[in-house]
């Protein structure tokens, strides 16, 4: 607000009248001159001017708007949604059922010479993390990965389990 302009009684009366007529704070600020939209909003709150329109004046417009919105909702509800194709999701690969115990339960002994650091990791290598990432001896599996997947056969069997097996494993572990 400019230094010379203040909230005189005339300006406050004009603000009240414009606010009650439903003018926006931006339009009121432009008509008053020398004040910002936020100054108008602040003065409105300090004056306690809550309502924007008098009850009953805009009822026909409001009911017409409500009817228009209800019609639009009815039209949208009657239209069948188009199916959405998920292009980035890759289904889990099919693995033969394990003969006895699941492969995840058997630890795979990977020689230290085959394990790789992040600097030595290549696209065709298994990215299964091994060890604690905060220690210097942290490595990745490094075995030959399945084409198109980040893991070798052993680690892919652990990572990609059918939903029924995952539920069965959770129940066996005591989770519901």
Q: What angle do CA 19, 21, 23 make, to 5 degrees?
A: 60
What pLDDT, on a 0 to 100 scale, did the predictor assign at position 11? 92
Confidence of residue 105 (pLDDT cuts 50, 70, 90): very low
**With helix as H, strand as E and coil as C, how does 1-38 read?**
CCCCCCCCHHHHHHHHHHHHCCCCHHHHHHHHCCCCHH
Instruction: Work out the burial of residue 29: count CB atoms within 10 Å of its CB; fewer than 13 is exposed, 13-18 middle, 19 or more buried.
Output: buried
Under the banding of pLDDT at 50, 70 and 90, the label for residue 21 is: confident
């Amino acid at each position: 607000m400019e230094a010379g302009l203040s909230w005189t009684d005339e300006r406050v009366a004009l603000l009240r009248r414009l606010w009650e007529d439903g003018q926006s704070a931006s339009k009121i600020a432009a008509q008053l001159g020398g004040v910002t939209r936020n100054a108008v909003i602040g003065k409105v709150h300090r004056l306690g001017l809550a309502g924007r329109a008098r009850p009953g004046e805009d009822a026909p417009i409001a009911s017409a708007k409500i009817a228009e919105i209800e019609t639009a909702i009815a039209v949208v509800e009657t239209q069948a949604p188009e199916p959405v194709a998920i292009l980035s999701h890759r289904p889990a690969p099919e693995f033969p059922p394990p003969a006895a115990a699941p492969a995840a339960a058997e630890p795979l002994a990977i020689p230290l010479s085959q394990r790789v650091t992040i600097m030595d990791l290549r696209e065709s290598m298994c990215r299964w993390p091994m060890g604690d990432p905060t220690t210097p001896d942290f490595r990745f599996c490094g075995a030959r990965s399945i084409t198109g997947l980040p893991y070798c056969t052993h680690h892919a069997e652990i990572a990609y389990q059918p939903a029924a097996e995952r539920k069965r494993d959770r129940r066996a572990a005591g989770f519901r």
